[in-house]
Structure 1
Amino acid sequence: MTLVHVLRECPDALRADLRRVYGLDLDDLETGRLRVGACADLVANLPAGSMTWRRLDVAAAWTPVEYMLAVQVDQMNMWMWGNADPKKRGSKPKPLPRPGRGHAASRDDGTTGSDGREHRVRAIGVQPMTLGEFSRWRAQRFEDARVEESRPLAGNT
């Protein structure tokens, strides 16, 4: 994603994010106090959940916490559906929509973007579980064993 694309699609969200995250103004780019390359680096590394990512509907539009909450809602819907009377429960519940799905549908094989580069997509599937299993799962302590950066590197803008 290029700086030009972001400036064309959502300049107001970018202006707000630059002020909120970095304390900079987009006008600094026009006056020459902020170099274009530096601005592109800052935009490429906006944190997950930024207004810019939400407006562009990319996977980084949600924070990890929002993804985990959506998984919990999906799990609870599956649990309620699975424990309902099979004659009355209706069709299987659909998972909540996630951001960035509109862009993935336009790819040829789901892994190559329009720029020709490969994109890794991590999907969290729905797994039915009992309420006791869900309570034990929520009570456990989670730690990051491995951290992978999902945003593009500064030189790839």
Structure 2
Amino acid sequence: MSLFQLLATHWEELEGDFQEAYGIDLRDLWRGRLSAARCWVLLAQLPPGSRIWRMLGGPMAWGMVERAVREEGWRLASQNAGKELPRPEPPAPGWRDKQDDLRRREERRLARFMQRHAERNN
């Protein structure tokens, strides 16, 4: 995915990450105070668990603390179950798109249902 595709689809996450991690207003990119090359480098260096990585999924989706908490939860659950349970994994790349598709399908189904019942009641 290119920088401009990421900016177009995940502006809010990137804006929050840049402000939190670097104290940089991402709008500086459009003001000429931040080059696209520097923006790309800074984006690539955002820490694991940043908003953009959580949104995109994959191994960078969890920060160190979240990974440690999930590992400890897994260890305790495995110990209590008396067997080794599947290890926790960060969300797979593309997870958010799948969730959005599912939400849109459910919204369409609900709209059709409501339309059918509105027609029956009239």
Aligned AA (1:42): L
Matched, 1:99 2:90: yes
CA offsets 1:30-57 (integer angstroms, 9 cap, x no match) = 1111111011101110111111111111
* TM-score, structure 2 as length reference: 0.66
Partner of 2:48: 48
Tell me if the contact between 1:2 and 1:40 (Cα under 8 Å) persists in the aligned partners.
Answer: no
* TM-score, structure 1 as length reference: 0.53
The 1:102/1:41 distance shift into structure 2, 3 A limit, reads closer
Aligned positions of 1:6-155 closer than 5 A: 6-82=6-82, 93-96=85-88, 98-102=89-93
Secondary structure of the corresponding residue to residue 47 of structure 1: coil
Quote how far apart the aligned CAs of 1:99 are: 2.0
CA offsets 1:51-107 (integer angstroms, 9 cap, x no match) = 111111132121122212211111111111118xxxxxxxx74443x224245xxxx
The structure in which a higher percent of residues are helix is 2
Greater RCO (CA < 8 Å, at least 6 residues apart): 1
Q: Distance in 2 between matches of 1:64 and 1:3?
A: 25
Question: Alignment identity in percent?
Answer: 32
The 1:102/1:26 distance shift into structure 2, 3 A limit, reads closer
Aligned AA (2:74): D
Secondary structure of the corresponding residue to residue 77 of structure 2: helix
The 1:36/1:63 distance shift into structure 2, 3 A limit, reads same
In structure 2, runs of 5+ residues without a counterpart are 95-122
RMSD (CA atoms)? 2.1
In structure 1, runs of 5+ residues without a counterpart are 84-91, 104-157
Secondary structure of the corresponding residue to residue 43 of structure 1: helix
